[in-house]
Structure 1
């Protein structure tokens, strides 16, 4: 159940307009962190250890194989999020006809002026900035300057909105980032501990500084991404976006909560082979209209209600 005309005393989303100036700088920052990490792990520490022989060689091979596999998945997911449109409202979109009752949705029978003059009427959704009707779960992004289907939030790290069409890719980016940064943190921990010993530390000042910086950065990213990952897992489990959870959801009952399994499939699809890669099978795209971001099934108790 939702509150009508809820007013928030302090809305963090209104500060998103200040993010416009960052642009591709954040992409360069991400690539910079990846580059420093690659230098510290592969070129400075575990690459040379391949030639030591024995257990050191075996350990280095394991670390390097895992590191490169996770790095490929991380970068693949990241750039898919960056370059995938999160979902745009089709031009002149109107709510679909109720085929079961043979009636047109009431929104199509209301004059546009009436919708604009009564924004407190939560039965109808209309965006004044875009001058168009809004599908369910659609929100206007002040950074992108347009309405986004099932908008979750505008992410400065991917320089893009996270919405219906790229939410899965964003979650995979978080997932592989957590695994990669955790692997780097654990693998560099023995090298980091040597900074606090009395013995001589091998390496040049440059390589030592890089190792130290890489460990601290990856530890910080691992812990922070873990928090975001846990939050988004809970949102997926209840079929809720960040905006919906922050602004509107007031009770445990939620009209789009169809159960954890179905909620998960609405984001990741039904084909298990594609769950961990940033893509959907053609079969899922064909048989799951929800992946297009316009229509969402709701529980029977809420079929006749609007928010």
Structure 2
């Protein structure tokens, strides 16, 4: 039984290693879908329609402006998630001492070792894989092989973990992807309907196939991303990550739920000018330690029960 269990664990890590190898492939797939969509929308359909005059020119102009604006934001947010570190535990980080003891200095090695050996102590968390203490809401990612601050999940599409420092960027990527794919689906719907008409369809076989493929792909992405958006909107509203959603089921009251507005600000910041771009203002970074992924306020009622 022991050997069987060891074999299962070894297979899991082989799978995690395989996921790491998908990195460049997934990025190329995303860029491939963007390229096919750009060709169908701009070069095949609405670009040439700009010169038809009348209402066709106006519709094409509006579609192209919206398409390019959303595409820029989509790619900006996508590569921000890809290249932004989600947040790692600082070297030699140690949890602060128990507030009941009135101490503010980090625990030393002996104290930390004693806390690790005490199963009744739930205030301090330790990662056996990284051999280091874990801050609140931090989890170990087997794909990345490290602990990630406020880890939500590992996303193969962005080839990165989604955590404290890039969760906002991931959400914006979902929003702009949904808006872009919905725009493409609606704008290409009249062209798609002609495939099922009895009249002659203008265009070469290559352009017709590209338009058909683009419509199907964007419709599929729009519907699937909508499901992810609904899920993550509910998570942000309750200040919960995907991983914590399972932990939350075992508690009657979630300690980090501070109300919808404050929960939203803990992800997007307080400066409204930065809510729709993958960045934070310097003022928000300075006055909101939560954006660094190490400190998280909890509800007063929960603190009163704990102490």
TM-score, normalised with respect to structure 2? 0.90
- Alpha-carbon distance, 1:302 to partner: 1.9
* 1:16-54: CA deviation from partner (whole Å, max 9, x where unpaired): 554222111101100000000000000000000000000
Are the aligned partners of 1:63 and 1:187 in contact in 2 as well (CA < 8 Å)? yes
* 1:107-138: CA deviation from partner (whole Å, max 9, x where unpaired): 65754544555668533200011110000000
Distance 1:182 1:152, change over 3 A: same
CA distance in 2, matches of 1:305, 1:19: 42
Q: Secondary structure at the match of 1:111?
A: helix
Q: Secondary structure at the match of 1:171?
A: helix
Q: What is residue 249 of structure 1 aligned with on the other side?
A: 249
Are the aligned partners of 1:19 and 1:143 in contact in 2 as well (CA < 8 Å)? yes
* 1:77-109: CA deviation from partner (whole Å, max 9, x where unpaired): 000000000001001111235679632579657
Are the aligned partners of 2:96 and 2:106 in contact in 1 as well (CA < 8 Å)? no
Distance 1:124 1:8, change over 3 A: farther
Are the aligned partners of 1:8 and 1:247 in contact in 2 as well (CA < 8 Å)? no
Distance 1:4 1:173, change over 3 A: farther
Q: Secondary structure at the match of 1:140?
A: strand
Are the aligned partners of 1:4 and 1:122 in contact in 2 as well (CA < 8 Å)? no
* 1:50-91: CA deviation from partner (whole Å, max 9, x where unpaired): 000000000000000000000000000000000000001001
Are the aligned partners of 1:5 and 1:122 in contact in 2 as well (CA < 8 Å)? no
More off after superposition, 55-64 vs 16-25: 16-25
Q: What is residue 113 of structure 2 aligned with on the other side?
A: 113
CA distance in 1, matches of 2:52, 2:162: 45
CA distance in 2, matches of 1:237, 1:3: 44
- Alpha-carbon distance, 1:253 to partner: 1.5
- Alpha-carbon distance, 1:251 to partner: 4.0
More off after superposition, 62-71 vs 245-254: 245-254
- Alpha-carbon distance, 1:9 to partner: 15
Q: What is residue 235 of structure 2 aligned with on the other side?
A: 235
More off after superposition, 199-208 vs 87-96: 87-96
Higher relative contact order (CA 8 A, sep 6+): 1
| Runs (5+) with no aligned partner, structure 1 | none
Distance 1:101 1:261, change over 3 A: farther
* 1:189-230: CA deviation from partner (whole Å, max 9, x where unpaired): 000000001111000000000000000000000000000001
Q: Secondary structure at the match of 1:147?
A: strand
CA distance in 1, matches of 2:256, 2:3: 16
Are the aligned partners of 1:2 and 1:249 in contact in 2 as well (CA < 8 Å)? no
Are the aligned partners of 1:138 and 1:150 in contact in 2 as well (CA < 8 Å)? yes
Q: Secondary structure at the match of 1:100?
A: helix
Q: Secondary structure at the match of 1:273?
A: helix
Distance 1:87 1:231, change over 3 A: same
Distance 1:276 1:3, change over 3 A: farther
More off after superposition, 160-169 vs 245-254: 245-254
CA distance in 2, matches of 1:100, 1:268: 32
More off after superposition, 106-115 vs 181-190: 106-115
CA RMSD of aligned residues (A): 4.7
Aligned length: 307
Q: Secondary structure at the match of 2:44?
A: helix
- Alpha-carbon distance, 1:6 to partner: 21
Q: Secondary structure at the match of 1:144?
A: coil
Distance 1:18 1:290, change over 3 A: same
Which of the pair is proportionally richer in helix? 2
- Alpha-carbon distance, 1:301 to partner: 1.9
